Structure 1
């Protein structure tokens, strides 16, 4: 008793969406959403110099794991991203911003 499959079952019946288009034919599907272009907040505010002492502004560009956020995520231009990374590094050295999320402050409290 041998069960053999037919070599070619023939064309497939159309599914619920209708017949499938030919391979390579037709136009590509449209994306579901368009990513909005991010605008540099420093350029909008016309900031000339990013101050390392402005901790409130710098914290917006640091993740909850105390890592610097990427340009893709924040939307900062390359010129301001370089100045921003320099300011964050200076603030870390002066202990204004922690190096790690579980960093203990000298007074016994935690870095907020």
Structure 2
């Protein structure tokens, strides 16, 4: 009886995992898709897409950018912060 119940719970857990895996779609690099070569630190409206609510740089896995463009974004955001175009943190 207990084994049957444990097996049913395991099957339910596996089916939920499969549903979660189906909902995730592959993200593609925005800059590769749009053929953008340069990332300008003065374009604050574009850089805000890659910053969280608390002004943290979003990771590559959540933005979907390739490694090359993610490092360029990080450098541009850091330059914009240093020149005071973007905040270091927000409340």
Using structure 2 for the length normalisation, give the TM-score.
0.79
1:94 aligns with 83
Structure 2 gaps, min length 5: 9-13
Q: In the alignment, what sits opposite 1:105?
A: none
How many residues of Structure 1 are paired with residues of Structure 2 in the alignment?
A: 81
Compare the two structures and name the one with the higher helix fraction: 2
Structure 1 residues 20-42: Cα deviation after superposition (integer angstroms, max 9, x where no partner): 58xxxxxxx45013211101101
**Structure of greater Rg:** 1
Which structure ranks higher in relative contact order (CA pairs < 8 Å, sequence separation ≥ 6)? 2
Give every structure 1 segment of 4 or more consecutive aligned residues whose post-TM-superposition deviation is greater than 6 Å: none
Q: 1:11-90, aligned counterparts within 5 Å?
A: 12=1, 20=7, 29-30=14-15, 31-33=18-20, 34=22, 35-90=24-79
Residues in 2 aligned to 1:90 and 1:14: alpha-carbon distance in whole angstroms: 59
Alpha-carbon offset, residue 100 of structure 1: 1.2
